[in-house]
Amino acid sequence: EDKVVQSPLSLVVHEGDTVTLNCSYEVTNFRSLLWYKQEKKAPTFLFMLTSSGIEKKSGRLSSILDKKELFSILNITATQTGDSAVYLCAVEGNTGKLIFGQGTTLQVKP
Partner 1 sequence: GAVVSQHPSRVICKSGTSVKIECRSLDFQATTMFWYRQFPKKSLMLMATSNEGSKATYEQGVEKDKFLINHASLTLSTLTVTSAHPEDSSFYICSASRDRYEQYFGPGTRLTVT
HSE at residue 59, side-chain half, CA atoms within 13 A, is 7
Q: Which stretch binds partner 1 (CB under 8 A): 15-23, 60-68, 73-81, 94-102?
A: 94-102
Residue list 23-42, contact with partner 1 (CB under 8 A)? 31-32, 36, 41-42
CA distances from residue 109 to 20, 57, 66, 74, 80 in whole angstroms, order as listed: 16, 24, 31, 19, 8
Least Å from the CB of residue 98 to partner 1: 6
Nearer to partner 1, 58 or 110 (CB): 58
Q: Output the smallest distance, CB 42 to partner 1, in A.
A: 4
H-helix segments, the chain: none
103, 102, 61: which is closest to 85 by C-alpha?
A: 103
> Residue type at 33?
L
From candidates 33, 101, 106, 108, binder to partner 1 by CB under 8 A = 101
Interface with partner 1 (CB under 8 A): 31-32, 36, 41-45, 48, 88, 90, 92, 95-103, 105
